[in-house]
Amino acid sequence: MQDTQFAQLYKQASVSTASPGMLVLMLYDGALQGLHKAEYGFSLENPVKRNEEIHNGLIRAHQILRELQQSLDLEVDSEFGDRMYALYGFMLDRIFEANVKKDNESLPAVIQMLQDIRDSWEEMLRVSPEVEV
């Protein structure tokens, strides 16, 4: 078996055995990976590879954030849910704009916001691992 197959099997096992809270953390990590991939793409000189790397990274991040936004239960805690929905919407708009214009001006702010949310989520899981999401 090749290393990539082992990595895929490990990832599948990690996802299938993770708690709901850990799954959300994994989604944040995946979105950040996509954004960093796009950032790397902006440094490439070959226009085809540049656009492909940017597009693929931003689409991945956009899909994950869209899923997180859609999974919010706005009826349980409407104030928190409404704020997170709006924050995700803001980030989604900046990612879409960066992809269409192939301009990374707004990406550092999105990455920082998402990193802060991710770190807070990780801290919440560390302090209260019994919390179900």
Could you tell me the two tokens for 91? Answer: 């980030």
- Whether residue 37 lies inside any domain: the answer is yes
- Say if CB 9 and CB 21 are below 8 A apart: no
Q: Give domain status of residue 13, yes or no.
A: no
Identify the weakest region by mean pLDDT among 49-53, 94-98, 126-130. Answer: 126-130
pLDDT score recorded for residue 121: 95
The overall average pLDDT reported for the chain is 89
Instruction: Give residue 75's pLDDT.
Output: 82
Please check whether residue 62 lies inside any domain of the structure.
Answer: yes
CATH number for position 96? 1.20.120.340
What average pLDDT does the segment 72-78 reach?
81
What total of structural domains would you count in the chain? Answer: 1
Binning pLDDT at 50, 70 and 90, where does residue 76 land? confident
pLDDT at site 133: 57
Range of the domain at 49: 20-127
Residue 107 lies in a domain: yes
* Residue among 17, 20, 18, 16 nearest 133 (CA): 20
Of 2-6, 62-66, 79-83, least confident by mean pLDDT is 2-6
pLDDT of residue 72: 92
Fill in the amino acid letter for 114. L
How far is residue 105's CA from residue 119's CA, in Å, rounded to a whole number?
Answer: 23
Q: How confident is the model at residue 45 (pLDDT cuts 50, 70, 90)?
A: very high
